[in-house]
Amino acid sequence: MAERIEAATAGPINLADYEALAAERLEPGVLDYYAGGAGDERTLRDNVDAFARRHLRPRVLVDVSEVSTSTTVLGAEISLPVLVAPTALQRLAHPDGEPGMARAAAAAGTIFTLSTLATSRPAEVAWHAPPAPRWFQLYAFRDTAVTRALCDEAVEHGFDAVVLTVDAPRAGRRERDLRSGFAVPPEVDMPAVRAALGAGACPTPAEFFSLVDTSLSWRALEELADDLPLPVVVKGIQTAQDAALACDHGAAAVVVSNHGGRQLDGVAASLDVLPEVVDAVGGRVEVLIDGGVRRGTDVAVALALGARAVLIGRPPLWGLAAAGEAGARHVLELLREELRLALLLLGCPSPAHVTRGHVS
């Protein structure tokens, strides 16, 4: 049973409040696993700071008597341009885990993305969550039969897209995990990893990446896109050149992402890369972005720079840790209300009305 959120006057009123609550409730090693980044965590910090470097430019005397946050992504109607990004091991945050997170996204009217490193299988999420748009995030394994089985399960259970992560052939050097000695408790199952290994104990998240196919190429993307009956979204694009190649090789959409600052430290903030990716794509596919979104105004900035929508990873986890399914849903509702106000004050009746002229 998801916990009840307290009245707004007494409970969390923004995403930072939920982050503070999660820090109080999570075990230190789990908190560091979720919150940490690679190396000196420069990119982790810059993902957030990049939004502060941008300035919104409101237009006035525009009819904003009716404002909607609704949009579409890959043809699916969603109630706000904020999707739940794939994040690992959600039952370490709260027993509601991925099914609770999926229900929270469905209740908010948006898309949930299930991680390969989840504590639930696609079948379990489909069983426990109501019908709603949902995507499956895929790491391509060296054992192609495992990759195929995961995709088949996602197709069978009504997932609407496969999100191929391409920026993690190996795990980044996440020093918080090294210091804490973080390991997945033996009682916590990672079904996809267990399927890749067969019987026996699951590895640490870092060890998991030894199973990932480091020979993955653009040809492999093309074959996956041709083979699957679902659109393939490519997550981990950080240059204009790779954005163009993703379009050429069958991607239905791209996600500008540096893995939340968890892979190669020192790369540019996702937001700073977004404009060049949008220009390189030239409208051929939809462009999404993750990394650093903490406010509805951040969503507005991303829309102004050409993103169709944003994905958020850590904030829903903070909500899940603080109050289970209800907390994750409240995080999404807070962003919706912040975005609605931002659109109104920008002079934009909907996300579709936000343009590059609204940001500097």
Separation CA 139–CA 116 (nearest Å): 7
Separation CA 287–CA 73 (nearest Å): 10
- Structure tokens of 123? 């079948």
**Residue 259 among the catalytic residues:** yes
Sorted by sequence, the CB contacts under 8 Å of residue 173 that are 6+ apart come out as: 38, 39, 265
Paired strand residues for 37: none
Given a contact cutoff of 8 angstroms between Cβ atoms, the answer to whether 76 and 84 are in contact is no
Give whole-number Cα distances, 70 to 82, 134, 159, in Å: 10, 17, 21
Sorted by sequence, the CB contacts under 8 Å of residue 5 that are 6+ apart come out as: 11, 12, 323, 326, 327, 330
What 8-state DSSP symbol labels residue 313?
S
Separation CA 351–CA 270 (nearest Å): 20
Q: Identify the CA nearest to 80 among candidates 98, 65, 93, 67.
A: 67
Q: Which of 94, 249, 259, 358 is catalytic?
A: 259
247: Cα within 13 Å, side-chain hemisphere:
16
Cα 194 from chain centroid? 23
Residue spans of alpha helices (H) in 133-239: 144-156, 175-180, 191-197, 205-208, 218-227
Helices then strands, counting H and E runs in the chain, come out as: 14, 10
Separation CA 149–CA 145 (nearest Å): 6
Catalytic residues: 259
